[in-house]
Chains A and B, each alone.
Chain A
Amino acid sequence: MLYAMCFLLFVIGLYCALVKKNMVKIVIGIMIMEYAVNLFLIMLGYRVGGVAPIVGHEDIRNMGKFVSESVDPLPQALVLTAIVISLGSLALMISICIRTYEKYGTFDITRIRRLKG
């Protein structure tokens, strides 16, 4: 159920990126897809009644309980990487949009198709 809703979020982002004419809308669609994928990967590692993968003082004496309760740290680490990279790619895409707006005076992708210069 939650997985399917997460996939629906991805499909909304994909629709926005494929159908809209505005360049900033396309960037927003790509961002929505990124959120959906990150959320999905974190959900894959969730355990009902789980704890965060941080070893506390009490857990050192009782390591077996911690091992059976902790959520998956591997997708969290990789999603951390992906979030930071998504910020970099967002900056790159938005700078392309700003440059295009300065040159053509519009965000409409059907009107910037004709090459100039």
Chain B
Amino acid sequence: MFYIFLFFMIFLLIAALIAVHTDNLLSSVICVGAIGFGGSLMFLFLRAPDIAITQIVVEVLGLIILIRATISSDKTFISGQREFFGIVVSLALLLAISGLGLKALDGLPNFGTPAFVAAGEIEETIASQEYIEQSLSKTGAANAVAAVILDWRAYDTLGETTVLFTSILGAVVMLRKKTKNTGAIEA
């Protein structure tokens, strides 16, 4: 099982490297699709079928949006980097984040041991443990993920729909062709 994850992870890394390094925007977008669908397969092997289904749907929609942005524009071959000082600052930031992140990885339990089990040896009550044990008896939902989304943490889902609505509203406002030209400022 571990080697399946390793294989998918190497696939994702190669796809990400190609997506970053190619100059053609369309191939870059297609590589992002490869990352998305490979990640969806990996979610399936990580025993998360709900996430895998959602990821496929979101990936298809996201690819359509990204291709819409790239296919209508002709000057998509932009190579080269930003100016020198900015690159130096970014790379220093990147190195600092990598160092701190790799240091933080030491504190995690090994792969295959869930974090809530490792935390359960210290704490008395763990939220995830209760969700697994009691979601059927308390909410009546056989799927614990659906029980968490729609029952235990329903307010979180309400906030999610608010964020989604706001972002779509922003996109619609941004893409609107006709503008009310009443003010002096040209739109």
Q: List the interface of chain A (C-beta within 8 A of B).
A: 1-16, 18-22, 24-25, 27-29, 31-32, 35, 38-39, 42-56, 60, 63, 66-67, 70-74, 76-81, 83-92, 94-99, 101, 105-110, 117
Partner of B113, one of A47, A85, A89: A47
- Cβ of B97 and Cβ of A46 under 8 Å apart? no
Residues on the B chain within 8 Å of A4, using CB:
102, 105
B28 nearest CB neighbor, chain A only: A28
- Cβ of A94 and Cβ of B133 under 8 Å apart? no
Residues on the A chain within 8 Å of B144, using CB:
53-55, 70, 73
Residues on the A chain within 8 Å of B128, using CB:
45, 72-74
B173 nearest CB neighbor, chain A only: A95
A100 nearest CB neighbor, chain B only: B174
- Cβ of A87 and Cβ of B58 under 8 Å apart? yes
- Cβ of A3 and Cβ of B108 under 8 Å apart? yes
Residues on the A chain within 8 Å of B149, using CB:
77, 80-81
Residues on the B chain within 8 Å of A85, using CB:
160, 163-164, 167
The A contact surface, by secondary structure, is helix
Q: List the interface of chain B (C-beta within 8 A of A).
A: 1-2, 5-6, 9-10, 12-13, 16-17, 19-20, 25, 28-29, 32, 35-36, 39, 42-43, 46-51, 54-55, 58, 61-62, 65-66, 68-70, 72-73, 75-76, 78, 80-83, 87, 90-91, 93-94, 97-98, 101-102, 105, 108, 111-117, 127-129, 131-133, 135-136, 142-145, 147-149, 153, 156-157, 160, 163-164, 167-168, 170-171, 174-175, 185-186
Q: How far is the CA of A110 from the CA of B54 in the complex (A)?
A: 36
Q: How far is the CA of A43 from the CA of B112 in the complex (A)?
A: 8
- Cβ of B82 and Cβ of A91 under 8 Å apart? no
- Cβ of A32 and Cβ of B32 under 8 Å apart? yes
